[in-house]
Amino acid sequence: MMTRRAPRLATKLMIAQAVVVSVGASTLVVAAALVAPSLFHEHLMQGGVEDPEVAMHAEEAFASSLGIAAAIAALTSLIAAGLVSWFIVRRVARPVEELAHSAEAVAAGHYEVTVPSVTFSSEFLKLSSSFAHMSQRLAETETTRTRLFADLAHELRTPLATLEAYIDGLEDDVLAHDAASWATMRDQVDRLRRLATDLREVAAAEEHALGLTLTRLDGRGVAEAALSAVMPRFQTKGVALSLDACPEPAWILGDEIRLQQVLANLLDNALRHTPAGGAVVVDAFVTGECFRVRVRDSGEGIPVEQLTSVFERFHRADPSRVSGDGSGSGLGLTIARAIVSDHGGSLTAASNSPGRGALLTVIIPTV
């Protein structure tokens, strides 16, 4: 079924302008034709013109000149209005058409479009700026989505390949049906489960949909609880863990469970990248109107060019730094930063140089 093509905006605007000008000119001519002759006749009588023939010729001359003047005025006004309308219509219709073409490109999935900057009015400027910002955000989202799928496929490949190899080996009796084989497969299943959980967490965190329950907390208690939870793993690996906290309360408004999750992720990250015999030091103090927690390790450190990208999904500064058990999903720091951001705070990374450890700093406003 063929659809009727709608008229262009410029055509509609020009027609509307022509109708308005024509109605105005017609109204002026009709009003002048109805009112001017009677007024002229009255003035002739008041001026003492009593000869009917003279009065008739004067009125005919007036009517003729009035008609010619009205026609010239109407034609001139139509031409002037047409030129002004054409200029305005071009200024209005062209950017709308360009924005429409950009919208069609975005709808087709081409987010890298050039959106015209329209300065005709503040409303048009705001519209074009908002559309350009939306297009940029969509492009960034598409890039992130593509990278996420690629990274996810990479992360899934190792545990799936391990499971497949063990299943084939058990079926062919190449591998022994012993506790070690089952434990390896169970570890890979756990790794997949952790990855799925972390993906759900990071999606909710970045969409600000974690449903935080904010209460007045003492930040020192949150730090102490987080350290107590991870202490056994540090002792097992032989990495020293210590806390230096302020003596006075550090009152913050936060979700205790989520903040402990943040610190747990930071400590897990520090533990993975710190060799046995190393140390992780945590200090928690009030500085100004903020509660600051710093996690410093003595591990490999972070290259300067990666201090920001470490918070991206599945980031690996060096794949060789990841522990052999595959315990890191590459999402811990991403989740932590999103949670801290929802608390109105910040999470940053610093490192002197590779091989001299890393420093992660959490800052949350006090109350």
Residue where the block lists tokens 């009593």: 50
* pLDDT in the model for residue 10: 64
Question: What are the pLDDT digits (tens) for 245-282?
Answer: 998 999 999 999 999 999 999 999 899 889 999 999 99
Angle in degrees, CA 27, 61, 55, rounded to 5: 110
pTM given for the model: 0.58
Give yes or no for a contact between 127 and 99, defined as CB atoms under 8 angstroms apart: yes
The letter for the amino acid at 307 is: L
Structure tokens at 158: 């190792």
Superfamily of domain 215-365: Histidine kinase-like ATPase, C-terminal domain (3.30.565.10)
**Assigned token pair, 227:** 């350290």
Distance CA 148, CA 157 (A): 14
Whether the pLDDT of residue 118 is over 80: the answer is no
> pLDDT higher for 348 or 323?
348
**DSSP 8-class letter at 262:** H
Which pLDDT tens digit goes with each residue over 53-85? 777 777 778 778 777 887 787 788 778 877 777
pLDDT at 121 over 90: no
How sure is the predictor about 136, in pLDDT bands with cuts at 50, 70 and 90? confident
Q: With the CA atoms of 64, 70, 76 and 77 taken in that order, what torsion angle do they form, in degrees rounded to the nearest 10?
A: 180
Mean pLDDT score of the chain, rounded to an integer?
A: 81
Beta strands in the chain (DSSP E): 215-218, 240-245, 251-254, 279-287, 290-297, 346-350, 359-365
